A and B are shown apart, each in its own frame.
Chain A
Amino acid sequence: MTASGSQTETPGARLERARAVLDRVTDPELPFLTIRDMGILRGVTLDGDTLEVVITPTYSGCPAMDVIASDVETALVKAGFTDIRVSRVLSPAWTTDWLSADAREKLRANGIAPPEKASGKRALFSQVETHCPKCGSADTERVSEFGSTACKAHYRCLSCHEPFEYFKCI
Chain B
Amino acid sequence: MRIPAARMAVAVAAGVAMLITAACGSSGPSAPKTSAGGGKTTGLHLTLLIGSSGDAETNAVNAAAKAWGTKSGNTVTVTPAKDLTLELTQALAGGSPPDLFYVDASKFAGLVKANALVPYGDQLPNKADFYPSLVKSFSANGKFYCAPKDFSTLALEINTDMWTKAGLTDADIPTNWDQLEAAAKKLTKGGVTGLVFSDTLDRVDAFMRQAGGSLLNADGTEFTANSPENLAGLQYVAKLAKEGVLKFPKQTDTGWGGEAIGKNKAAMTIEGNWIVGGVKSDFPKLHYKVVELPAGPKGKATLSFTNCWGIAQKSKNQAAAIDFVKFLTSTDQQMAFANAFGVMPSVQSAKSQFTAAFPDQQAFVAGADYATGPTSLPGFDQVQKDFDSKILGLSDGSSNPQSMVDDLQKNAEAALKSAG
Partners in one complex: no
Chain A residues within CB distance 8 Å of chain B: none
